[in-house]
Amino acid sequence: MSKIKRGVSLYSYQNETFQGKMTLEDCIRTSAELGARGIEIIGEQTFWGWPEYGAADADVENWHRLIKQYDCTPVSHDFMLDYKRYKGRIMPFDEQVASVKRDIEFGARLGMKFIRALVSIAPEVLVAAAPHAEEHGIKILIEVHAPLHFDHPWIVRHAEAFEKSGSDALGFLPDMGMFLHAFPPVWKEKFLRIGVPRNIADYIEKAYADRVLSEYVILEVQEMGGTGPAIAMAETLRHNAAFEPKRMLDYMPRIHNIHGKFYQMMEDTNGDCVEPSIPYDEIVKVLQQGGYEGYICSEYEGNRWIEDAEEPDSVEQVRRQQVMLAKLLGEAEVPTIKTSPTASADAEATREAAE
């Protein structure tokens, strides 16, 4: 039995929560039924008001009630730090640090172990906030996300700053999208829908598989007569690459949470599920080799690639990924949803209609 635990970032259900089709209770209960008991949120997505006018005490109480009721564990509050809040000037350093401190306190108020920093935030800001994080029992994790990766100088600079600080309240949250081993089918289909000629789309998919340098692919697409959407499709190769999961091994002592990014989960007739573009079998092996004992939190990001053609079914996509993860982690039980994922939202709608 693996020590790696399963969780869900509620980001995954954004298409449903945006429209009010799932409540927070629906999100937490559905994740818990799948055995994914680690709950990660983007604080300001889940809590209206944060950070500009604050989260209501009643909403925070509701959060704790639901976490307890469904036997879940708060994992991470993903914060944003809008350093471009002021038009035409970047937020001053001291104000950025103060802002991170408020997110540390909010994370602690929610019972989180971690808060997630976006990768564009400067290491000096995080180092300055680290003592405050230590006081509140929080670790600040910078999200290592494509196009960045563990060998990129910007990430190396963070790692050096973290080591120099001597604080163990600073770490990394790798997003598995940086290990994009194949061009995602849902990306290709979207580009075909917006007018990329089939031969060009096939070429880009093949060039990605052959690991051709992005700049050569863009030039080749231009020479094939590609314009607009075809160039845009080729340019995705500038921002994505098949980096190797084993690059995480050097950083294991500072890796405390994982974003289980996925674009599409496919299910075969045996119920086996696979992400066609991200090698989760290899990823899980590397994490086990590195002694990882934290959560892998599902992060479904296929919604934006299909919503022009069909309504995303985020819950089904998360279910399939959890089935895959449970199997890779050696769990005997197949994750299953027992309650309608919209039960709480439906009940609310019925109550409102009756009033």
Partner 1 sequence: MMDNKMIVEGSLQSEDGGFSFLGRLPYYRGLGLSMIEDIQVTVDGEVQSRESVRFSVRGKTYTLDEMETVYDDRWNFGEKAKIIVLNGGLAAGDHQITFAVRYRVSYLPFVPTTKDTKDLALAA
Residue numbers at the binding site for partner 1 (CB under 8 A): 11, 14-15, 17-20, 42, 44-45, 48-49, 51-53, 80-87, 118-120, 303-304, 307-308
For partner 1, give the closer residue by CB, 24 or 287: 24
For partner 1, give the closer residue by CB, 187 or 203: 187
The least distance separating partner 1 from the CB of residue 14, rounded to whole angstroms, comes to 5
For partner 1, give the closer residue by CB, 107 or 294: 107
The least distance separating partner 1 from the CB of residue 120, rounded to whole angstroms, comes to 4
Which residues, at least 6 apart from 140, have a Cβ–Cβ distance to it below 8 Å? 100, 104, 114, 115, 117, 126, 129, 130, 133, 169, 170, 171
d(CA 187, CA 239): 13
d(CA 138, CA 273): 34
The least distance separating partner 1 from the CB of residue 36, rounded to whole angstroms, comes to 19
For partner 1, give the closer residue by CB, 64 or 304: 304
Alpha carbon of 338 to those of 6, 34, 326, 348: distances in Å? 18, 9, 17, 19
- 266-285 CB burial, b ≥16 within 10 A, e <16: eeeeeeebbbbbbbbeebbe
In degrees, rounded to 5, the angle at the alpha carbon of residue 124 between the alpha carbons of residues 138 and 244 is 75
For partner 1, give the closer residue by CB, 52 or 268: 52
How far from each other are the two terminal CA atoms of the chain, in whole angstroms? 50
Element holding 255 (H helix, E strand): none
The least distance separating partner 1 from the CB of residue 341, rounded to whole angstroms, comes to 17
Q: Which pairing describes strands 295-300 and 257-262: parallel, antiparallel, or unpaired?
A: parallel
The least distance separating partner 1 from the CB of residue 87, rounded to whole angstroms, comes to 6
For partner 1, give the closer residue by CB, 49 or 291: 49
Structure tokens given for 168: 């163990």
The least distance separating partner 1 from the CB of residue 331, rounded to whole angstroms, comes to 30
